[in-house]
Structures are given as structure tokens and as C-alpha cells.
Structure 1
Amino acid sequence: MPRRAEVLRLPMAAPDDVASLAAAVAAGRLDPGAVVAVFAKTEGNGCVNDFTRALGVHALRAFFAPLVPEGALARIAMVMSGGTEGGLSPHWLVLSAVEEPHGTGPALAIGQARTPVLAPEDLGRRAQVESVAAGVRAAMAQAGLRPGEVAYVQVKCPLLTSARIAEALARGREPATRDTLRSMGLSRGASALGAALALGEIAPEVVREAVADVGLAHYARRCGASAGVELADHEIVVMGMSPGWSGPLAIDHAVMRDGIDVAPVAACLARLGLTGPGGLVDEAGRRRLVAVLAKAEASGDGLVRGLRHTMLTDSDISATRHARGFVAGALGALTGRTDLFVSGGAEHQGPDGGGPVAVIAERAGDVP
């Protein structure tokens, strides 16, 4: 039977504020039993000690627990992305899949999977790449998507804490790094390479035992990875266009070559019919725009189109935080919205200094 994807973008007053989800359930707009994943932008620092992500997961678990059958809670991917620098607005994205007996495709399709718990010493190494690749393939199979039909993969991956590092060392295993902040980048990079491997964007021989040994010329074009302290495995959500799914939603993607490269995103928005004169999303387009997911990264050479930037040399604020606010401003100007899922740290996610973008929208004619 065909399935239909539904996506709700809901406001958040605090990382544990689920009032908008409760209102959606009460109004019949959200069936808790159909939820596949919940994404959120929370207002922490997005670094190792950002526990707004864990707070968000705790609030979601408490909210859904009495509303879904026993065991179903573990099947909801909860992808929290910390950091709403600049004008980014904290929000929830709730992704659901419902049966659609009479629908026709193609339309947005969603699949999710979880990997086994990752040993701390495997973070940033080939084992993590292969684990994520297997998870992406499982999520594609659940959604009935082939690699060429996938528009975006969202991965929530673990990081190393002092306790996790100590646990590995106590077993005589050396982690890829003892720097907890650096572990976030290694984990994101390994996750992105795993997605790229599963989608056929890189060859298996590109992967090295240590992710740090893989050149930045090898990257995923359709994956965003976000690391957090709130999990020790990987939550993977795959989205694409499938003839086996129906409904009004469509997804498209683009790749930015740097933080102000909005032309590919504008072309993506135009393909979805969201733009008006001047290439900006107009009011009619904003009514149909459902979600924007993007990765942001400070270029490693310290330049943006030949001009020096200081994102990597600011000792007060992490470069990932600068990059989030920078890219969010560019995309906000293009779309006219600030509730955008912009995530910092794009190692092996798009070219160095750039990053992949995905847009979900209701197709023309499906919105009054």
C-alpha cells in the first residue's frame, strides 16, 4: 500500500517545550503513532556540553511515551541540533508516514534506522563509516528508496566525552582523539563518508582506517551529520522522492560551495516553484515551504572567495557557531524565514567551506 509523508514545522519556546506538539495532536494534525522522526534546532551552543539536545530528547520521550504502543518510542528518531546563532529560530520538525490507499507518486519518502552502539575507540575510524553506511542502506530499504532517489540523509552521531575516553583507555584501546571537541568533527566526517559510501558518492577504497586521513576532496553531497552527547549510536533518517509514496510533499537538494553561494539553493527553490521575481521566495512560496535543512562550515584555508575570515581564529566563539549564523543569514534572506534547520560542522559534507542543502515543500496546486 502506498504511503504518504507528512512534515510539521512547529515553534519551540524552550528546548523542553512540547506545547506545539500537544496542540497539533489535540487538533488532529499529528498522529503520534505515525511519527518516524523529530528534528529540532535547540538554543544551546552546539558544542560538547550542549545539553539542550539531551533536554529536548527527554521532553520528547516523556511526551510520546503515553501516546504510542510499548516499544514504539525507540523507533522514533530524535535528531537534536544545537545552536541558533544569529536570527535562527528554535523549532521542531515532525516527520510522519501514514498509509495512503489511493495515492499516486512520486512524492516525499522517509525511512529511518539506528545502528548498534559505537565503541568509543571506533569513533572517527573505518568501523564508524561502515556502520553508518549499513544504517543508511537499512533506512533506504525501509522507505523503498534507491540511491539515486535519495535527496538527503540526516545522521545524528555520538561524540567522545571524558568518561567515554576513559572507558576505552581502561580496556587498553586508544581513541582516535582525546580532544572531545575534535571528536565531534571526526564523528560527523565519518558519518558523512558512511552516507556517501551507501549512496555511491565515494568508492570503498577512499575510506581509510582513520577518517582524518581521508582528504576533504571526498565528501557527501546529500548528507548532514550532527554530533551530540545524548546518544552512543547513530540515528539515521533518509528522505527522497519515491514512486511508491504519495501526497503533496516534494524534496529537492543543492550543494553550496561556500557560505554565500546561494545560487544553487535558489535554483533548487525555483525547481520547487517557490520563487517569485528576483529569485527570492515570495509570500505564496513561503506558504508552501515546509523545511530547509543545511550544513555550514568555516573553510579551512581561512578565506571566502579570496577574502580573509576570522571564524577559525576567534578564541571566544567556536567556528561552527560563526558558520551557522553566517549561512543562516544567507538562507534566511533567500527564503524569508528564520526557522531553518542549519547545522554547523560540515566535515566531508559538501566541499570545504560549503555544504549540502535540502528543501521540502508542498507542490503547487496542493495549497489553497
Structure 2
Amino acid sequence: MRSPGDVSELARLFDEGIVAPENVIALVGKSEGTGLGKDTGREAADRAIKELVAARLGTTATDVGDRLCIVLSGGSPGVITPHVAVFTRTDDAGEPAVGEPRLVAGLAHSADILPEEIGRMGQITKVRAAVERALADAGVQDPADVHAVLVKAPSLSPESIADARRRGHDTVTHDVSIGPEGAICYSNDASALGVALALGEAADDDVHDTMVRRDYSVFSDVALTSSGGEKTHAEVLLLGNSTTSSSALRIGHRSMRSIIDGSAVAGALESAGVEVVGGDTLAASESLVYALAKMIMPGTSELNGRRITLLEDQVGYHVAKAMGGFLLASTTGLTEVFVSGGEQNSHQGPPDGNPLAVIVRPAS
């Protein structure tokens, strides 16, 4: 995308018959902008995508928003290329499954999430139900075959906080920033806990209002969540593997154990069935189609026993995304990658770690 509202390349894919608009189920990508709850760049990209797809399907942008999953992460600092990745799905009647685990996708929307539910069990329960529907939609029987769950949910704004107050409700926070007590972090983490419950990564007794953004021993290894003011409900895209699929693609994951854990790229490639010889991820990435990661700022100002200033830096939020983009570019050669993040601590990935997934095209 050459600008936030540029969908000319997506139009070309439609015009040249490379992608059939009716087969599109999700659009995932990075837009230019602040990445905050109110991000005009992300909103412009979201609107342009919906309008183009709607025009090709002969429907409305509202209908497209109700039918598809659109997950855009705002802010493309450093070497991240603003882009959108198009996920399509067809019912290949007569096409035999390849017999090996291959990519499947499941799609679901949650019920509307009210401002007073954001960051609390109300959101967690609704996201959990949506993930369970996405699991069924993908036809995945074993949650262990799920390697990434993208969720885009609403965040709080001054307007939605005021709306809750008018109806006699309080919100989990009045801070609409991405700070440690900010609405974006609460929304992202509530979504992650919904994923964890749906996939059996967490027990019901472990998840409740008072542990959100407090007990980071409870987490999802595959949740990549974000939030924004343009959403009123959560949109879920679940990606996994199944032997019933006839796709040419496969997905794998391995969480980073720290914000500089480049070995996770090799681990994710190997999880997807790609041999990494001598740690050479660049060579192994010849089969790489797409990479997705979160970059959560660590909970302390130390890394490997040494002081860092990331948490004190006024632009640390963008620095974290830039670090993720550089890490993936340097290990895979790709700059069209999905890197969301900037939160401090999260239920996405293990403590001080980050989820990372890759989609590959196996040689055989």
C-alpha cells in the first residue's frame, strides 16, 4: 500500500483474476498511522478495503464488514512495508486432500462488546465463543493444530466511556492510551484470554476480572490480538492445519522467549515442516509466504541482566514494532510482515515473550 487508502494492488489482484472477490474471507495487514485507538491511517485503510470489496461483490461496505475478518495493525515503523495479505477459501469439491496437515482457516465474529465489558469477563466470554465457532468453521478437531488466532476487537474511547457512564456503568479504565493501564492493553489481553480458554490453554478457574493484566502466568501461545475504535465487536481469524485440507500451504509457530529471540523464526519454520540447516533461516525462508508476530515490551527494564531504556522511551511503543519488523526482515528477507505490539506485558505469549507464526509453501 503506497498510502493508507491505497488499494490499487488489491484491485489488480481482482482485475487479473488472481483472487476472486467472493473467495475472500479475511484481510490482514499493516497500515501507516499511530496504531492507537483512534488511528486515521488504519481507519482509512479499513474503509478503502471494505469499499473496494463491496463494489466487486455488488454489496455494501457494512455488509463486507459483517461477512469478512479485517485485521489491520496501525503503524509501520522501521522496515515494515504497509500492506494487506488476502486470505481466501474455497470448497474444493473433488479436490483430494494432500494427506499431510495443510492450512485451514476459520472465521467468526463475536456479539457486540459493550464499553463496560472491554477488558473484563464480558469481552473474554464473547471472544471465547467466537474462537470456538472459528475452530468449528475451520474444521479443526484438535486445538493443538491451531497455530495462530488473530483477533481485532473494540477499544475504549472518551465517547464510549461517556456512553457507559450515561447508562450507569463504569469501565475497566479511563485511560485510552496503550500504556500499562490503557484501554488498548486491556482489550488486547481480554481477547487473548478468550483465545486461551477456547483452546484449553487456560482453565476457567484461572480467568476472572481481577487477574486481567495482573497474572501473566496465564496466557495463549497463539493469540495475536489488537483493538481499535473502528470495531464494535471482535473479529476472529483462526489459522491451523488439517489433513482434510487441499491447500498448498502450511502454518507453524513458536513463541519468542524474549524480545530479541531470533531463534523463534527457525523454530516456527520447523514447526511448519521446513528444515532449517545450520540455523540458516534466510535460505529456509524461500518457502515462506507470510509471517505474523507480536512484539510485547518486557515487564522490566532489564534484558539478559543488563539495563535497557525501552520502557522509559517516549516512543518505545513504536520501537517495539520496529524491532519486530527488523528481526523478521533480517531472518527471513521479508518486509511485508504482520507485526503488532508495543504493549508492556501481555497474556499474548509467555511472560516477556511473543507469539510468532509463519505460513509456508512446502516443496512437496
TM-score by length of 1: 0.91
Cα distance, 1:95 vs. partner?
0.2
* Cα distance in 2 between the residues matched to 1:166 and 1:118: 15
Cα distance, 1:352 vs. partner?
2.9
- Report the AA paired with residue 359 of structure 1: V
Matched-pair identity in %:
34
Instruction: Report if the CA contact (8 A) 1:34-1:96 is conserved.
Output: yes
Cα distance, 1:213 vs. partner?
6.0
Of 75, 84, 98, which aligns to 2:67? 75
* Cα distance in 2 between the residues matched to 1:229 and 1:211: 24
* Cα distance in 1 between the residues matched to 2:223 and 2:267: 19
**Alignment-derived partner of residue 89 in structure 2:** 97
1:53 is aligned to 2:49: no
Instruction: Report if the CA contact (8 A) 1:221-1:255 is conserved.
Output: yes
- Report the AA paired with residue 131 of structure 1: K
Instruction: Report if the CA contact (8 A) 1:160-1:183 is conserved.
Output: yes
- Report the AA paired with residue 322 of structure 1: V
Please give the per-residue CA displacement for 1:1-36, whole angstroms capped at 9, x wherever unaligned: xxxxxxxxxxx1111111111111122110100101
**Residue 128 to residue 247, structure 1, CA distance change in 2 (3 Å):** same
TM-score by length of 2: 0.92
Cα distance, 1:92 vs. partner?
0.8
Secondary structure in structure 2 of the residue aligned to 1:256 = coil
1:122 is aligned to 2:122: no
Cα distance, 1:53 vs. partner?
1.4
1:84 is aligned to 2:73: no
Cα distance, 1:145 vs. partner?
1.1
- Report the AA paired with residue 114 of structure 1: H
Instruction: Report if the CA contact (8 A) 1:40-1:92 is conserved.
Output: yes
Cα distance, 1:321 vs. partner?
1.4
Secondary structure in structure 2 of the residue aligned to 1:246 = coil
Instruction: Report if the CA contact (8 A) 1:16-1:59 is conserved.
Output: yes
Unaligned runs of 5+ in 2: none
Cα distance, 1:320 vs. partner?
2.6
Cα distance, 1:170 vs. partner?
1.0
1:279 is aligned to 2:280: yes
**Alignment-derived partner of residue 3 in structure 1:** none
Secondary structure in structure 2 of the residue aligned to 1:94 = strand
* Cα distance in 1 between the residues matched to 2:268 and 2:149: 17
* Cα distance in 1 between the residues matched to 2:238 and 2:48: 24
Cα distance, 1:245 vs. partner?
1.4
Please give the per-residue CA displacement for 1:246-278, whole angstroms capped at 9, x wherever unaligned: 121000001101111121321222453264554
**Residue 49 to residue 66, structure 1, CA distance change in 2 (3 Å):** closer
Instruction: Report if the CA contact (8 A) 1:201-1:220 is conserved.
Output: yes
**Alignment-derived partner of residue 6 in structure 1:** none
Secondary structure in structure 2 of the residue aligned to 1:187 = helix
> What does residue range 319-358 of structure 1 map to in structure 2 within 5 Å?
319-344=316-341, 345=343, 347-358=346-357
Instruction: Report if the CA contact (8 A) 1:291-1:340 is conserved.
Output: yes
**Alignment-derived partner of residue 5 in structure 1:** none
> What does residue range 117-156 of structure 1 map to in structure 2 within 5 Å?
117-146=112-141, 147-156=143-152
Please give the per-residue CA displacement for 1:323-367, whole angstroms capped at 9, x wherever unaligned: 1111221222111111110101362011233211110011114xx
Unaligned runs of 5+ in 1: 1-11
Cα distance, 1:243 vs. partner?
1.9
* Cα distance in 1 between the residues matched to 2:270 and 2:108: 31
- Report the AA paired with residue 149 of structure 1: D
**Alignment-derived partner of residue 360 in structure 1:** 359
Secondary structure in structure 1 of the residue aligned to 2:164 = helix
* Cα distance in 2 between the residues matched to 1:137 and 1:211: 22
Secondary structure in structure 2 of the residue aligned to 1:17 = coil
Secondary structure in structure 1 of the residue aligned to 2:162 = helix
Cα distance, 1:322 vs. partner?
1.6
In terms of mean alpha carbon deviation, does 36-45 or 343-352 score higher? 343-352
**Alignment-derived partner of residue 8 in structure 1:** none
In terms of mean alpha carbon deviation, does 253-262 or 302-311 score higher? 302-311
Secondary structure in structure 2 of the residue aligned to 1:348 = coil
Please give the per-residue CA displacement for 1:137-160, whole angstroms capped at 9, x wherever unaligned: 011111111312211100001110
